[in-house]
Amino acid sequence: MARKDKKNIFHLQKRSLISLTNPQSPITEQFRVVRTSIQFSSVDTDIRSVVITSPNPGEGKSTVAANLAIVFAQQGKRILLIDSDLRKPTVHYTFRIENLIGLSNILTRQSSLEKAVKTTRQENLWVLTSGPIPPNPAELLSSSNMSALLEQVKNEYDFVIFDSPPVLNVTDAQILSNSTDGVILVISSGKTQKDSGKKAKELLENAKAKILGVVLNNKEVQDNQYYYYGHK
Q: Indicate the fold that domain 12-229 takes in CATH.
A: Rossmann fold (3.40.50)
Q: State the pLDDT at residue 14.
A: 45
Give me the residues paired with residue 193 across strands.
none
- Mean pLDDT computed over every residue of the chain: 87
Q: Report DSSP state, residue 145.
A: H
The ranges assigned to domains in the chain are 12-229
Q: What is residue 55's predicted lDDT score, i.e. its pLDDT?
A: 93
Segments of the chain with pLDDT less than 50: 1-14, 223-232
Q: State pTM to two decimals.
A: 0.87
Bridge-based pairing state of the strands 211-217 and 227-229: antiparallel
The whole-number pLDDT of residue 219 equals: 63
* Cβ within 8 Å of residue 146, ≥6 positions away: 107, 140, 179
pLDDT at 7: 34
Helix (H) / strand (E) containing 51: strand 49-53
pLDDT digits (tens, 9 = 90+) for 108-122: 999 999 999 999 999
CA atoms within 13 A on the CB side of 27: 26
Identify the DSSP state of 228: E
